[in-house]
Amino acid sequence: MKRQTWQRAAVREALSARGGFVSAQDLHTALKANGSPIGLATVYRALADLAVDGDADSLQSSDGENLYRACVSAGHHHHLICRSCGRTVEIEADPIEQWAAEVAAANGFRDPRHVVDVFGTCSSC
Amino acid sequence: MKRQTWQRAAVREALSARGGFVSAQDLHTALKANGSPIGLATVYRALADLAVDGDADSLQSSDGENLYRACVSAGHHHHLICRSCGRTVEIEADPIEQWAAEVAAANGFRDPRHVVDVFGTCSSC
DNA sequence: AACTAAGTGAGAACGATTGTCAAAATCGCC
DNA sequence: GGCGATTTTGACAATCGTTCTCACTTAGTT
């Protein structure tokens, strides 16, 4: 069974308070800075759980870190990310979903899944 | 100046011999297995150089490794990757290029770049 | 052949993540 | 409210991929 602990709540809250993508380490540092005695391993575990449950989504930064973000729209979606300030916009990509499925089928691939993220510099940067 | 060494040649060759995506570690192991006394650090450096020069492209696997592949078509393209055997198909994605540019512009993002990769299970797996 | 700057390699260092395991906290039940 | 079984936690060690260090070698030039 899955238990409810203040640590998980804290991670969940800190994550949505941030808005953008954060690394597990950063989140841990932020929590500690706010006086929480939470452990690093716990943050990792909580984030992994959130990602599995669909309450957060994750992506890898270009330097190999796992970044997490509180998921606003629960469904499948993609991101437009500012490479300078990290601001993130969730985007719908219906044409891409279809295209991915078609391309996969055309090459005999089953059970297609895809990674689609767009990076750019936002208007305020 | 950039010098030509047998090590770089070996990496380049081993990479295209493989066909699909390989991790730096695997490539190093393969080279050693073939009797080459090449060092691991050198393989990393050579791969990074190849990627910068556009002779190879790289992506991150789901478990955080950097994978490299000899680039057949020099231009911009994407990949369809079998999650089971690693077989890779290079795919054109003209509609996506356009879509990415549009979405970026619509949200005030400049200089858009994107990551598009499709994973699936190929017909022979 | 000699010179010089770039490249190499063994191993140390590093940073992110995961595993370990005893102690602490939660939930279901009385 | 108290109890017990079981999950979760947290400090720290371990792991894994990658990068750094630095003395040594080598390509390319003169």
pLDDT in tens, B87-115: 777 787 788 888 888 888 888 888 787 77
In chain A, what residues touch B95 (CB-CB under 8 Å)? 95, 99
- pLDDT in the model for residue B71: 67
pLDDT band, very low/low/confident/very high, at A86 (cuts 50, 70, 90): low
pLDDT digits (tens, 9 = 90+) for A15-68: 988 877 899 999 999 999 999 999 999 999 999 999 888 788 787 777 778 988
∠ CA B52-B55-B58, nearest 5°, is 65
Look at residue A18 and tell me if it is in a domain.
yes
The alpha carbon of residue B35 is apart from the nearest alpha carbon of chain A, in Å, by 31
In chain B, what residues touch A103 (CB-CB under 8 Å)? 80, 91, 93, 118
Q: Where are the alpha helices (DSSP H) in A1-125?
A: 6-18, 24-33, 40-53, 94-106
- Provide the token pair at A75: 């469904």
Do A54 and A45 form a contact (C-beta atoms < 8 A)? no
Q: Which of residues 41-60 of B touch strand C (CB under 7 A)?
A: 41-42, 45-46
Chain mean pLDDT for chain A: 83
Residue A74 has pLDDT above 60, yes or no: no
**A10 and A62 in one domain?**
yes
Do A72 and A78 form a contact (C-beta atoms < 8 A)? no
Q: Is the CB of A64 under 7 A from strand D?
A: yes
Closest nucleotide over all strands to A1 (CA to C1'): D7
Position of tokens 């081993």?
Answer: B14
Look at residue B1 and tell me if it is in a domain.
no
**A85 and A51 in one domain?**
no
Residue A117 has pLDDT above 70, yes or no: yes
Which domain, by its residues, includes B87? Answer: 78-120
- Provide the token pair at B106: 């619509």
Query: For the ranges A3-7, A47-51, A103-107, which has the lowest average pLDDT?
Result: A103-107
- pLDDT in the model for residue A13: 92
In CATH, what number is assigned to the domain containing residue A36?
A: 1.10.10.10
B15 sits in which H/E element: helix B6-18
Q: Is the CB of B48 under 7 A from strand D?
A: yes
**A57 and A93 in one domain?**
no
Residue type, A117: D
Look at residue B107 and tell me if it is in a domain.
yes
- pLDDT in the model for residue A124: 73
Number of other residues whose CB lies within 10 A of the CB of residue A47? 25
Euclidean distance between CA atoms A24 and B77, whole angstroms: 31
**B30 and B83 in one domain?**
no
Look at residue A19 and tell me if it is in a domain.
yes
Residue A73 has pLDDT above 60, yes or no: no
Q: Can you give the pLDDT of all 125 residues of chain B as single tens digits?
A: 889 999 999 999 999 888 778 999 999 999 999 999 999 999 999 999 998 887 887 887 777 789 888 866 556 777 787 766 667 777 877 888 888 888 888 888 887 877 777 777 777 76
What is the count of structural domains for chain A? 2
- pLDDT in the model for residue B47: 95
Q: Name the packing angle between helices A24-33 and A40-53 (round to 10°).
A: 120
The whole-number average pLDDT for the span A59-85 is 73
Is the Cβ pair B108, A123 closer than 8 Å? yes
In a 13 Å sphere around the CA of B64, the CA atoms on its Cβ side amount to 6
**A107 and A82 in one domain?**
yes
- pLDDT in the model for residue B78: 79
Look at residue A125 and tell me if it is in a domain.
no
Euclidean distance between CA atoms B117 and A113, whole angstroms: 9
**B49 and B10 in one domain?**
yes
Q: Is the CB of B4 under 7 A from strand D?
A: yes
- pLDDT in the model for residue A108: 86
**B23 and B64 in one domain?**
yes
- pLDDT in the model for residue B51: 86
In CATH, what number is assigned to the domain containing residue B93?
A: 3.30.1490.190
Contact residues for A79 (Cβ-Cβ < 8 A; gap 6+): A59, A88, A89, A90, A91, A117, A118
Is the Cβ pair A109, B122 closer than 8 Å? yes
DSSP B16-44: HHH-S-EEHHHHHHHHHHTT----HHHHH
Look at residue A49 and tell me if it is in a domain.
yes
